[in-house]
Amino acid sequence: MSFITGVGLTPYGKHEGSSSLDLMSRAAQAALDDAGLKRSDIDGILCGYSTVSPHIMLATVFAEHFGIRPSYAHAVQVGGATGLAMTMLAHHLVDAGVARNVLVVAGENRLTGQSRDASIQALAQVGHPDYEVPLGPTIPAYYGLVANRYMHEYGVTEEDLAEFAVLMRAHACTHPGAQFHEPITVADVMASKPVAMPLKLLDCCPVSDGGAAFVISREHTGELGVRIRGCAQAHTHQHVTAAPGLSELGAEISIARAREATGLAISDVRYAAIYDSFTITLAMLLEDLGLAGRGEAAARVRAGHFSRDGAMPLNTHGGLLSYGHCGVGGAMAHLVEAHLQMTGRAAHRQVRDASIALLHGDGGVLSSHVSMFLERVR
Amino acid sequence: MSSSERIADWTKGEEAITYQTCAACGHVQYFHRAFCAACGASDSREARASGKGRVYATSLVCRAATPETRAHVPYNILLVDCAEGFRVMAHGENGLAIGDEVDASFTAFAGKLVPFFTRRK
């Protein structure tokens, strides 16, 4: 058994002058404070990567900097799925008795630490070095290809996709730490600059600075505990050229495994924290996971289903699309928000009942998937 | 032809798309390897593809990330299902749609040769 005993999150956006280590440290301190633990209580550290400050041993660089001598430490790299993959590993480490309290941390000055071109170029390298990268694709282009096919198969329109950007922005407007606070409309998304069609600027998450951290422990420290009920992964390919067809999606495989591991059904879920690097990513994952029927997720957005007061509140902090995306920390903000919701600490964003949450992360081009169920316990 | 005698393709500057067929299990693969990714056998046959295919997906890139590629925007990136049973990423003429029958040619892009598909006449 394992519990998420503390969470820490910085605002996302510009942190001029902060390094990746600075942002990791701020988030880690906040998570320790939240858990009511000291540095000496932490015996495991898992960290992500920083494209601005690459290092072959980032976990020990951080441990030394932050002042911890753990008995278990290393970095993890699964692209956008890294945060949940680290949480899954921490869960198993704690469950197996390898560590008592594992600090999971990531942070990156991805916005101010390098040019936007450098960032886009670094990320495009997830493409095949011989067969894809010479063609000049970008991450939005990889997802643009996926979007084009998915829209064709299920009759999804660009206006449908725009609904997800509008929803995430509406949620971000209620969170002081979000990168964007100006409301947008479907017309704004449609009129935004083309990036890689059918994806336009407002269909894409921004590049941000920020940090996020959690503590995963054997026992819960507060009155309310957030227990990791169970989780699973699926990895079907790396490159979009080698991706399986839409009938064999990794998210469907990982959620089936997670449901089997926990005995939970989608109908048990009360809060959803789903990876949203692009509007198409969110639309597809909602449908892959069974949170909406094929081609029906946008209609559910319009009906208020995924809003704070709807039947399935989704990414109430604004997601990657509008809270921001600082790399590994990006999707960790989804878990921080889920934790706040589950423990009744989300202030004016609080939903009615977040007793069971479903989290899902995606790395690469829908390549790597992690599905996780969290449960509130007393 | 064994995998050790590799046929040059566009990734080596030759006007060709090549693929491998496993002699043991028949699996077809596009990314060249010394073995079959499906069964592990090491006697894949390599061949030049006909260049005929069907568009699986398209994305018109309007925002490029490097000075070399920016000179080409907008450019249309495609996934094409080739007649021989494998999928390639390539460039293509603007306006291509899913399901279009296409033929491969080759063009210069950012200092390299890349496959470029046009609608079959």
Exposure string over A169-182, b if 16+ CB within 10 A, otherwise e: bbbbebbebbbbee
Q: Is the pTM of this model over 0.90?
A: yes
What is the pLDDT confidence band of residue A365, given thresholds at 50, 70 and 90? very high
pLDDT level of residue A151 (50, 70, 90 thresholds)? very high
Tell me if A120 and B72 make a contact (CB, 8 A cut-off). Answer: no
Domain that holds residue B57: 52-119
Q: Tell me the mean pLDDT in the region B112-120.
A: 97
- Residue with structure tokens 């599905």? A371
B4 in contact with A, Cβ within 8 Å: no
Q: Does residue B33 or residue A116 have the better pLDDT?
A: B33
B87 shares contact with chain A (CB less than 8 Å): yes
Task: Note whether B96 and B43 are same-domain residues.
Answer: no
Residue keyed to tokens 């921080």: A336
- In this structure, the answer to whether residues B32 and B79 fall within a common structural domain is no
pLDDT at A245: 85
Of B31, B48, B65, which residue constitutes the final position of a domain?
B48
Provide the number of structural domains found in chain B: 2
Query: Which residues 6+ apart lie within 8 Å of B8 measured at CB?
Result: B14, B16
Is residue B35 located within the same domain as residue B74? no
pLDDT tens digit string along A97-135? 999 999 999 999 999 998 877 887 777 778 999 999 999
List, for residues B56-94, the tens digit of each pLDDT value: 999 999 999 888 999 999 999 999 999 999 999 999 999
Question: What is the pLDDT, as a whole number, of residue A117?
Answer: 79
A141 touches B: beta carbon within 8 Å: yes
Q: Is B79 part of the contact surface with chain A (CB cutoff 8 Å)?
A: yes
Shared domain check, B96 and B60: yes
Q: What is the mean pLDDT of chain A?
A: 96
Does one domain contain both B33 and B83?
no
Please report residues of B whose CB lies closer than 8 A to that of A137.
59, 61, 77, 89
Q: B23 with B73, same domain?
A: no
A75 φ, ψ (degrees, to nearest 5): -90, 160
**Residue B44 sits in the same domain as residue B56:** no
pLDDT digits (tens, 9 = 90+) for A216-267: 999 988 788 999 999 999 999 999 999 998 878 999 999 999 999 999 999 9
Query: Scanning every residue of chain B, which has its alpha carbon at the shortest distance from the alpha carbon of A148?
Result: B57
Alpha carbon of residue A363 to chain centroid: 9
A196 contacts in chain B (CB < 8 Å): 59-63, 77
Asked whether the beta carbons of A168 and A315 are under 8 A apart, the reply is yes
Of B56, B57, B75, the CB nearest to A136: B75
pLDDT mean over A34-42:
97
How much is the pLDDT for B4?
53
pLDDT surpassing 50 at residue B1: no
Nearest to A143 by CA among A302, A316, A314, A363: A363
Q: Are residues B65 and B113 in the same domain?
A: yes
pLDDT value of residue B16 = 98
- Is B114 in the same domain as B67? yes
CB distance A149–B98 less than 8 Å? yes
pLDDT at A139: 93
DSSP result, A252-283: HHHHHHHHHHH---GGG--EEEE--SBHHHHH
Does A141 contact B61 at a Cβ distance shorter than 8 Å? yes
pLDDT at B3: 45
A147 shares contact with chain B (CB less than 8 Å): yes
Q: Does residue B39 share a domain with residue B64? A: no
Nearest to A296 by CA among A304, A309, A286: A286
Q: Which of residues 283-342 of A touch B (CB under 8 A)?
A: none
- CATH number where B72 lies: 2.40.50
- pLDDT (tens digit per residue) in A295-318: 999 999 999 999 999 999 999 999
Looking at A33-47, A59-73, A106-120, A162-176, which range is the least confident one? A106-120
Q: Is the pLDDT of residue B2 over 50?
A: no
B73 and B86 together in one domain = yes
Asked if A149 lies within 8 A of B64 by C-beta distance, the reply is: no
Structure tokens at A180: 């964007």
CA distance, residue A233 to nearest chain B CA (Å): 21
Confidence grade of residue B106 (pLDDT, cut at 50, 70, 90): very high
- Residues A82 and A84: their CA atoms lie apart, in Å, by 6
Mutate to test the interface with B, among A121, A135, A197 (most CBs of B within 10 A): A135
- What is the overall mean pLDDT for chain B? 95
pLDDT at residue A63 is higher than 50: yes
Asked whether residue B89 falls in the same domain as residue B60, the answer is yes
